Amino acid sequence: MIANADALLKPLTIRGLTIRNRVMSTSHAPGYGKDGKPQERYQLYHEEKARGGIGLTMFGGSSSVAVDSPAAPWNQISVADDSVIPYFQQFADRVHRHGAKLMIQLTHMGRRTKWDTEHWLPTVSASPRREPASRTVPKELEQEDIDRIVAGFASAARRCREGGLDGCEISAAHGHLVDQFWSPSVNRRSDKYGGSLENRMRFGIEVLSAMREAAGDDFVIGIRMSGDEMIPDGLPAEDCLRIATEYARRGLVDFLNIVGGQARDHIAHAISLPNMSFPVAPFLYLPSAIKREVDVAVFHAQRVTDLATGARAVAEGHVDMIAMTRAHIADPHLVKKLSEGRADDIRQCVGAGYCIDRIYVGGDALCIQNAATGREATMPHVIAKAETARKIVVVGAGPAGLEAARVAAERGHKVVLFEKEKTVGGQVNVAAKATWREALSGIPRWLHGQVLKKGVDLRLGTAATPALVAAEAPDVVIIATGGTASKGHLAGTEHVATTHDVLTGAVEPTGTVLVYDEIGGHNASSTAEALAKRGCLVEVATHDRMVAEEVGTTNQPIHLRELYKLGVVMTPNMELMEVYPEGNRLIAVLRNTMTDAEEERVVDRVVIDAGTLPVDALFFELKAGAVNRGVTDFDAMIAGRPQPWPAGAGYQLYRIGDAVAGRNIHAAIFDALRLVKDM
Amino acid sequence: MTPAPTLALLVLILAALAVAQALRRARLWRRGRPAHVDWLAGLKALPRRYLHDVHDVVARDPYAARMHAIAAGGLITASVLGVFGLVPALGHSPVYGALLALAFAAALAGGVMVGRRRSPVKPARLSGGRFRLVPPALTAYAGGGLLVGIAILAGPGFAALGWLGVALAAAGAAVLVYLLGDGPMRHVFAGALHLAAHPRSDRFEGGRETALHPVDLAAPQKLGAETPADFAWNRLLGFDACIQCGRCEVACPAFAAGQPLNPKKLIQDLVGSLAPGGAPYAGSPYPNARPVAGVGGPELPIVGLGAMVHPDTIWSCTTCRACVEECPMMIEHVDAIVDLRRFQTMELGAVPEKAVQPLLDLRQAEEPGGRALAARGDFAAGLALPKIQDRPAEARPAEVLLWLGEGAYDLRYGRTLRALVRLLGAAQVDFAVLGAEERDCGDLARRLGDEATFQDLARANIATLSRHRFGRILTADPHALHVIRNEYPAFGGHLEVVHHSSFLDELVAGGRLAVGDLGAALPGAVTYHDPCYLGRYNGETEAPRRLLDRLGLERREMARSGKRSMCCGGGGGAPVADIEGERRIPDLRMGQASETGAAIVAVACPTCTAMLEGVTGARPEVRDIAELLLAAVEAAPPAAAPARQRQPEPVA
């Protein structure tokens, strides 16, 4: 049992609304909206948190209140007309059934959106200053625009109420329209909305006053705002505190949902959504400072990944409720597990940022380690028992094999899990060796604990052979043997080391190192950072437009920041063609992908990340004897049907994760879950 | 003179000496405080109390029961027969001789059995010392009487044999008289008088008078017992009745845990305090005994480093009443300990260090953790927990008032209460809670000797309860149940209280809750741990078992169960006193649960839950019966359970 757990399990009453405990999930945009409405997938995602015991779940990050703040960019929700109300009612029923409360975030994004979607209306703001993140130059709002948008907020609040939601907040964080008016970095107006802080606060006051009028005195309305914009020309903590106390004093808000930072450019965005390179709860001091000055409830989210930290934040009085949004994406049953005394079973968020990084490239939020999140219609968070218990052999205890063993054991099967290494984790162990990527090790750590708890027969240090597998007389054999680092297809691969070689310590480069990034993932950047920290002179070359191009918006800026700090030379648009020795050094030949011009580097080491190739020898040895010839029926798997069970004595054989083709952790875990959940 | 009348005279002298010894002892008892005793009723009830209550306890050890029946029965019958030797005609009657011989032979067999109990090795629970003189004295007296009987039967020619018998009997009798005043045989008259003048006259014949007697806080005398003279005289009599059989010692959880408490030794220390210089104690000591001066007297303190009993001894007690339940002499050990604690707490303020804060909080916040009374319902956040104050004035009285108790503040126990609240909802029970008006029931204060705080809490709770309209009080806490049901009446609170095990059993029996079969969902057997304050204090051992048997679980019994169950270690303020021992009581109890091979220990008390959940390592799971029942209700076939709500249809 964690310390102060009782502090989390106490109710909180705000304006007559009693929330059953102090754990919440903040509004975010998981990319599940459809036609601007929260439909089944969106609702099921939040219902799962409600079933899992959460007190308050807030949905609809950046839900728009006006047509010039389009809902399209991240598959968001539009509250700009009444057609959304039936969806709210259905959504609220679904969440209330499990005793949780449901609120939404309303906003006008101002300049922080796209003009080339949905209605093709120009973006608007307090002043025509370009936002780097959205790359738009907004139109300066006229008084008529302001009145229209204020009325839009009011109507949206009424729709929330009519939709049976328990409340709403407006977003004045991350650089939306309300805080665009607040922030001197955007607002250069000379009318009653600009200049002094009093004037800059006016727009927000008009918005909240109109919302209160439209929604009634018994509807909870809060605000999400920054406690410190952390940019030189932005709002300092003192001004944020003044805004918070003034809005609270005027009775405009029932709660203050405080974050740290702003999000106008790449690094600001990465800081406001802290990844695993940050300590836990890095900005807890901001809501704490505000809570001292106000008598409304204070909420806070930002890398509170574990309940112990959340419990401390509440118990010590820094906040009234702790928001664990990404923590719920990793495990929506967090509170239930805590209150049932099963805190050890909580799948803890590792802060990989996989969920949020996907939505900023137009994808849907998915958890790096929990493949059921966002797929509640087809993937179970609680695995049901199988009707027939079978004997299942899993080979390889990386994320795919561990998840397969966990799910199989939950289904009641008898599971033997072979792992040739002395520890579980597979390639995650390699990745976790690179500086701030260490927290990845939490993924296999949880899986390891679960397979042991569920009685999986884990044979560490045992390389599976056909004879060993046959000795178990299995009904099913799942090959999850992972991949080995590829050296790519350039000339002179024998002179090249891989990122795996460096991180595992197989080679220990010194002097000048060229890291070649063929994949654009974390591997090359984090290996380059590790090498630079060891004192190497490092250049990273890539054929992409920037190193780590595939890494998402909350992680790539951290890689770049660290590489710049360490003086690593980053060379985009270059393809590594050939490596050959000269004396006791190496010559690396690079080709500019745009001009075809060739350059040479004289280095001590060339390290390459060219992905992985499957370790599949055992699969092919077992394939001939398998009743299904090692074939996975994709149609059955996608439809959520059990794999066909062909007649004939013998075992079925499947292959999952990087043992099929090198991809990522989520792919490996999803492969395992969707195959085994029906087995 | 012939042997027969001589034997008769011997018996009469023996009887006279016994009376003299008793009177001498009675002078000591009179040093105690006065007590109201209904002598007539007591003496009238004596045979029934002896034959039922005493022998029901004795018979738990069949050997001891046979031994006592033969030895005591034979001795008394033979002695009474012996007196008839004064009738000249009988002195030569072969029939009389045969009867006398038969009776003494029985007594002799009894004497041999007494001896064989300690041979070849004396069991640890039995005392040595003067107890070793009993078998030879008994066998000499009975053997001598037997020879006299044989001599009468055999005729005049065997007078020499008769005289030999008289001599032998006289020798045995002399020792018995010696052991009567200050030795094992004192139990004969002290025990009989104790049965007649017992301070808890309602505990006999199936009664369970277990409430602590109130202290008159306004009385001029000191509060609680400091010296032997501060005990009521019939309590002192009760201590003298102890036969040192050691059954209490075997049952005592603190003794088993190596804490410095042995109920048998404590009673002997009380006897020794009253009459210093008596027979030296020759039984098991207090485990890990703390050194004391060993100085005592009728007007000298009993507890203290310079006295007879170390404070750690009285604070080790969990008030589980296992010693009282096992005592064949009906001694009330727990009353004695609480009386001693009352003086320490109320007159000296000498409570164990860790008990200071809870008592202070009870006085100042009416709750031993110093927590807000309004937060007692926090555990239920998200569930309907209607407050009785919110009921409309014209509404019917609530069917039950749910008394949440101290466990409501505990995270683990909150799960049990949540299960109970959900069950009440499922059964559509019209219930309500007191909300911020529920104070602590006062159990902890009272067991720690703080009678003043207890009485304040009791009166305040009674006043609150009398303001509201409800049928019964329902509680999952046996301590609250006991205090409200049995101890509040002394302060004017006459309330019907039901434990959740009985109530839930009623709901299932009455068809208000449909249960499914838990057997498949919960593989493995279940064993039920009786809470002391439910089983021994309130006699309820069957309802929880009936309920468990309805759930389709295989139920196994621990070696100690029902009214003879072993304590979890959590009662009587023992956890806050926290006296160091060698082992933890809950570890011992959990060990007994593990021995049954059960996968689940079913509990029915917040204290037991906390103590048993604190046991580390591989062990059965701890589940309250409410949690198990809820699982069974949820496992009920859909027809019986409310239909699961369908997913909402997509909207247009």
How would residue B155 be classed by pLDDT, with cut points 50, 70 and 90?
A: confident
User: Is residue B208 situated within a structural domain?
Assistant: no
Tell me: do B328 and B188 sit in the same domain: no
In a domain, B207, yes or no: no
Using the 3D structure, point to which of B509, B537, B560 is the last residue of a domain.
Answer: B509
Same domain, A313 and A400: no
Answer yes or no: is pLDDT of B520 > 80. no
If asked whether residues B322 and B380 sit together in one domain, one would say no
Among A514-523, A554-563, A605-614, B628-637, which is the least confidently predicted range?
Answer: B628-637
Tell whether A334 and A413 lie within a shared domain. no
Residues B448, B533: one domain?
no
Residue A373 lies in a domain: no
Do B617 and B472 lie in one domain? The reply is no
Question: Quick one: average pLDDT of B514-520?
Answer: 87
Q: Do A341 and B412 touch (CB under 8 A)?
A: yes
d(CA A628, CA A679): 14
Our CA-based measurement puts residue B460 at a distance from the nearest CA of chain A, in whole angstroms, of: 27
- B190 plus B48 within the same structural domain: yes
Question: pLDDT grade, residue A588 (50/70/90)?
Answer: very high
Residues A491, A344 share a domain: no
> Is A99 close to B379, i.e. CB distance below 8 A?
no
Tell me whether B648 touches chain A (CB under 8 Å): yes
Residue A586 belongs to domain with CATH number: 3.50.50.60
- Pair B71, B23 in one domain: yes
Read off the pLDDT of residues B101-120 as tens digits, 9 standing for 90 and up. Answer: 999 999 999 999 999 998 88
Q: What is the mean pLDDT of residues B209-217?
A: 95
Within its chain, how far is the Cα of A498 from the centroid? 28
Cβ–Cβ gap A99/B383 under 8 Å: yes
> How large is the average pLDDT for residues A553-573?
97
Say if A233 falls within a structural domain.
yes
Task: Report the domain count for chain B.
Answer: 4
Question: Which of A587, A610, A633 is the last residue in one of the domains?
Answer: A610
Query: In chain B, what's the furthest Cα-to-Cα distance?
Result: 122
Which residues touch A182 (CB under 8 Å, ≥6 apart)?
Answer: A172, A197, A200, A201, A204, A235, A239, A243
Same domain assignment for residues B493 and B544: no
Q: Which amino acid, A29?
A: A
CATH number, domain with residue B370: 3.40.50
**Same structural domain, A583 and A447:** no
Task: Specify if A255 maps to a domain.
Answer: yes
Distance CA A81, CA A71 (A): 12
Residues A462 and A563 in one domain: no
Task: Give a yes or no: residue A386 inside a domain.
Answer: no
Work out the pLDDT band at A253, boundaries 50, 70, 90.
very high
List, as one string, the DSSP characters of A624-643: TT-TTTT---HHHHHHTPPP
State the total domains in chain A.
3
Say if B644 falls within a structural domain: no
pLDDT at B640: 44
* Residue span of the structural domain in which B495 resides: 365-509
**B450 and B572 share a domain?**
no
Question: Which CATH number do you get for residue B306?
Answer: 1.10.1060
Instruction: Kindly report, residue by residue over B338-373, the tens digit of the pLDDT.
Output: 999 999 999 999 999 999 999 999 999 999 999 999
Give the model's pLDDT for residue B216.
95
Same structural domain, B373 and B326: no
CB contact under 8 A, B414 and A339: yes
CB contact under 8 A, A341 and B409: no
Q: Does B651 touch chain A (CB under 8 A)?
A: yes
Does residue A368 fall inside a structural domain? no
CB spacing of A6 vs B409 below 8 angstroms: yes
CB atoms under 10 Å from CB of B386, counted, come to 15
Last residue within a domain, chosen from A309, A339, A359: A359
Tokens of A551: 């890494």
Write the residue in B382, B414, B648 that is nearest to A20 by C-beta: B382
- CB-CB neighbors (< 8 A) of A100 in chain B: 382
Which pLDDT score is estimated for A638? Answer: 87
For chain B, give the percent of residues with pLDDT over 90: 84
DSSP A2: -
Is residue B517, in this structure, part of any structural domain at all?
no
Residues A331 and A416 in one domain: no
pLDDT in tens, A342-377: 999 999 999 999 999 999 888 999 999 999 999 999
Q: Give residue B519's pLDDT band: very low, low, confident or very high (50, 70, 90).
A: confident
For A581, counting Cβ atoms within 10 Å of its Cβ (0-12 exposed, 13-18 middle, 19+ buried), the class is exposed
The reply to whether B652 touches chain A by the CB within 8 Å rule is yes
Q: Do B415 and A97 touch (CB under 8 A)?
A: no
Same domain, A477 and A500: no
Q: How far is A547 from chain B (nearest CA, A)?
A: 45
Per-residue confidence at B643, pLDDT binned at 50, 70, 90? very low
Residue B514 has pLDDT above 90, yes or no: yes
Q: What is the DSSP string of B287-316?
A: TTPPP------TTS-SBSTTSSB-HHHHHT
User: Does residue A125 sit in the same domain as residue A253?
Assistant: yes
Q: B578 and B613: one domain?
A: yes
pLDDT of residue B4: 84
Q: Does B412 touch chain A (CB under 8 A)?
A: yes
For chain B, how are helix, strand and coil distributed in percent, rounded to 5? 55, 5, 40
Residue A378 lies in a domain: no
Q: Are residues A511 and A466 in the same domain?
A: no
> How much is the mean pLDDT over chain B?
93
Chain A nearest CA to B393, separation (Å):
23
pLDDT exceeds cutoff 90 at B283: yes
Which tens digits make up the pLDDT trace of B592-631?
Answer: 999 999 999 999 999 999 999 999 999 999 999 999 999 9
Q: What is the DSSP string of A70-133?
A: -STTTT--B-SSGGGHHHHHHHHHHHHTTT-EEEEEEE--TTSS-SSSTT-PPPEESS---BTT
Inter-chain touch B645–A87, beta carbons under 8 Å: no
Tell whether B409 is within 8 A of chain A (Cβ): yes
Range of the domain at A42: 5-359
At B639, the pLDDT band (50, 70, 90 cuts) reads low
Same domain, A500 and A473: no
Contact with chain A for residue B616, Cβ under 8 A: no
- Dihedrals φ, ψ of A33, to 5°? -65, 150
Are B140 and B46 within one domain?
A: yes
Residue B638's pLDDT is 67
B117 within a domain of the structure (yes/no) = yes
Asked if B375 lies within 8 A of A86 by C-beta distance, the reply is no
Same domain, B505 and B532: no
Is residue A384 in some structural domain?
no
At A209, which CATH number?
3.20.20.70
CA distance B177 to B190: 14
- Establish if B206 belongs to a structural domain: no
| Residue A525 falls inside a structural domain | yes
Q: Are residues A395 and A443 in the same domain?
A: yes
Long-range contacts of A590-596 (CB under 8 A, 24+ apart): A590/A541, A593/A543
Does residue B213 fall inside a structural domain? no
Tens of pLDDT along A271-295? 999 999 999 999 999 999 999 999 9
Q: Residues A177, A221: one domain? A: yes
